[in-house]
Amino acid sequence: MEAEEQTKENVDVLEYYACPGLMTDPKEYAELFDGLPTEVSALCQIVQGIMIHILWAERYGVKLSEERKQEVQIRAVADMLARIKELAGQPLTVARPLEKRLVGNCRDFSTMLCAMLRHQGVPARARCGFGTYFTPERYEDHWVCEYWKANEQRWVTVDPQLDQFQRKALKIQFDPSDIPPGQFLSAGKGWLMCREGKTNPDNFGIFDLHGMWFIRGNVVRDLLSLNKIEILPWDGWGLIEKDEKDISAGDMELLDHIAKLTIAGNHSEIRSIYQNDKRLRIPSDWEPLKMNTGKQTKVIINGVDRYRVMDPLFECVRVVLSYRGEKYSPAYIQGISGAAFRIGGICPCAPTCSYAMEPEELIRLLGYECEHVWLEGEGVDPNDRIREILSRAKKEIRVGRPVLMWHVFTNYEWDVVCGFDDEKDELYGRGSYAGLEEYAKSEQTRPLKSEGVPLLGAIFIGEKTGEFSPQNAELAALKEAVHHAHSTKNQDKLRDDNWVFLEGLLCYDRWINDFKNDSQRVRGAGDSYCLGVYRTTHRAASNFLQELVPKYPKATQQLKSAAKHFAAEADTLDKCVEFLGWKSPEGPDAERNARAAERLSQARKSYTSGINEIERALKALDANKSEEQR
């Protein structure tokens, strides 16, 4: 299992870095990248032919005007390409005269190469750190590009700035398209070397700028770059700009942790720590960010996972938090939310009406802040509110944070929105049965079009400010599963002529009897929708219980047995698809109804056995707790 999870994480990492980010998206200039060679050394030559380093210009014999020097302030690759095209209209494969090349620095050379590689689907990332090959016995502020060499299964470090002229001047003996270890130090390595007293921090920097404060800034910039946000070498906020005297012990501990993460390449934690620590994350009101994103009319966050469970309420939370670096399995989220064990209705809205907690409660349970913005309410104009929600959602998406919105791609469910195109008036993202391969799309105001159902609006997930208590959540979920199964809600209102909403075993019983006792019963939307949801959520119950087995040794046998019963229930529900699935005949069909009732009875038996085993597990854990207290 661990090997499978590691393989999946490796695949996710490569997919993530193979897609453009905030700064590397060529946007409308993408065609300039079409047809470029795939050899990295050839791409480096192209980059060198369209750019000139601001600090090397005079050595090339080019005197830059103050106006031209300002080109080094351009952040986004799309804006760089616009200026390159303005200076000279030839294809990028044509090397420009020196005076017609875009003025940049090491960060710009590396980010441009990174953008070209990502455009070709090659995993690539810019890295911020220090070069050892510029000034003897110095670690000079520098950026390089890394790309994944698939046939060798390794990240290769490339310095696209080093053309023949610079290599000769610096007496470079190695191949810049495959820099050997030790020639470039990531900022994290430099930080830890100094923290461990192995070298003098005053040897790190550029010009008269040096010391731990300088290394600290590059540690954060490297973290940002690994989150596909390649800021300029002098950009800063939060922990980057903090005065040395104001750096706390907690700040130092955080920087040590970041340094270790960036060295180890722990992708999920690299994503999570950036997303959830305000000392690191780009402020939404940071002016340069507004300049680069405020005018964007199309932004799509790549690499957002699809739904792995057909669940309308909680899988969306896992999808968003997974993108933000959390590693909860789909089954675990279904389990602690209670969705894995529920059955209600049976009616078309049952999976969204029968729940142990709201999505916001799950988010807060996991330690995150969140805000639910409704589309309706006293004094609320839905048309005005949708504009507010869309504006806020687009700000979140521009800084790489997907948003939960109701009824965007599916019908009356929570969906994950991770992109927009204002010119096409479209939103992009995932849903429980939409966007399972390519992103789903819909018109931006579709959330308004949910007749007869509350306009639930959007949920914005904020910072991680609290701690999640797994054991409390797991045991509470097991207790709720038992309570739900034996629910007597509305039992006193049951009459032949009065349909009422039922839950747990009562719901199962009526579902069975509806088909067993009525040969003219037709298969309805509620049957198909509930079957589609419960056969996947209850399979998640089995996997959730398996995850709990090693955590609760005193209840191992009961949890394993419960997992087996829920898997059997899910298998039986799968066999009901031919009778009750969306593509099955509606009927009436007496033979079909009898067989459907028989299968549902088998499923109920497995469900009951699973619940009974959970009860036994809880009793075993309670007994063990009593022994410990004695």
| The model's pTM | 0.76
Give residue 333's pLDDT: 98
Q: Per-residue pLDDT for 612 more than 90?
A: yes
Bridge partner list, 441 = 428
User: Quick check: 414 and 313 in contact, CB under 8 A?
Assistant: yes
* Domain residue limits, the chain: 16-293, 298-327+368-464, 470-629
Q: How far apart are CA 159 and CA 176, in angstroms?
A: 5
Confidence of residue 129 (pLDDT cuts 50, 70, 90): very high
Q: Which amino acid is at 558?
A: Q
Phi first, then psi: what are they for 344, rounded to 5°? -145, 170
Contacts of 579-587 with C-beta under 8 Å, sequence gap 24+, read 579/523, 580/523, 580/527, 580/528, 580/531, 581/528, 581/531, 581/532, 582/528, 582/532, 584/523, 584/528, 585/523, 586/522, 586/523, 586/524, 587/520, 587/521, 587/522, 587/523
Reported as a single tens digit per residue, the pLDDT across 315-334 is 999 999 999 889 899 999 99
What does the pLDDT read at residue 357? Answer: 96
Once rounded to an integer, what is the mean pLDDT over residues 22-33?
A: 92
Q: What's the pLDDT at 284? A: 67
DSSP string, 16-74: HHTS--TTT--GGGGGGTTT--S-HHHHHHHHHHHEEETTTGGGGT-PPPHHHHGGGG-
Q: For the segment 227-266, what is each residue's pLDDT rounded down to a tens digit?
A: 999 999 998 888 998 898 999 999 999 999 999 999 998 8
Does 346 sit behind a cis peptide bond, omega within 30 degrees of 0 on the bond before it?
yes
Q: Please say whether the beta carbons of 397 and 417 come within 8 A.
A: yes
CA count, 13 A, side-chain hemisphere, 195: 18
In whole numbers, what is the pLDDT of the chain averaged over residues?
Answer: 92
End-to-end Cα spacing for the chain: 37
Q: Name which of 172-186, 433-447, 485-499 the model is least confident about.
A: 485-499
Instruction: Report how far residue 24's alpha carbon sits from residue 585's, in angstroms, rounded to the nearest whole number.
Output: 51
Comparing CA positions, the residue from 154, 436, 130 lying closest to residue 307 is 436
Residue 282: per-residue pLDDT: 80
pLDDT of res. 2: 46
Residue 393 has pLDDT above 80, yes or no: yes
What is the arithmetic mean of pLDDT over 353-374? Answer: 95
Residue 237 is predicted with a pLDDT of: 83
Confidence of residue 3 (pLDDT cuts 50, 70, 90): very low
Taking only the tens place, the pLDDT of each residue in 66-86 is: 999 999 999 999 999 999 999
Give yes or no for residue 223 having a pLDDT over 80. yes
Indicate the pLDDT class of residue 605, thresholds 50, 70 and 90.
very high
Can you tell me the distance from the alpha carbon of 219 to that of 188, in angstroms, rounded to the nearest whole number?
6
Give 120's pLDDT tier (boundaries 50, 70, 90): very high
Number of H helices, E strands in the chain: 23, 17
Whole-number pLDDT of residue 513:
93
pLDDT score for 238: 85
pLDDT at 368 over 60: yes
Task: Give the span between the Cα atoms of 30 and 208, in whole angstroms.
Answer: 39
DSSP β-ladder status, 403-406 and 102-104: unpaired
% pLDDT > 90, the chain: 81
pLDDT band at 285 (very low <50, low <70, confident <90, very high): low
Calpha distance 95→100 (Å, rounded): 9
Q: Is the pLDDT of residue 454 over 90?
A: no
C-beta of residue 607 within 8 angstroms of C-beta of residue 343:
yes
CA distance 491 to 55: 80
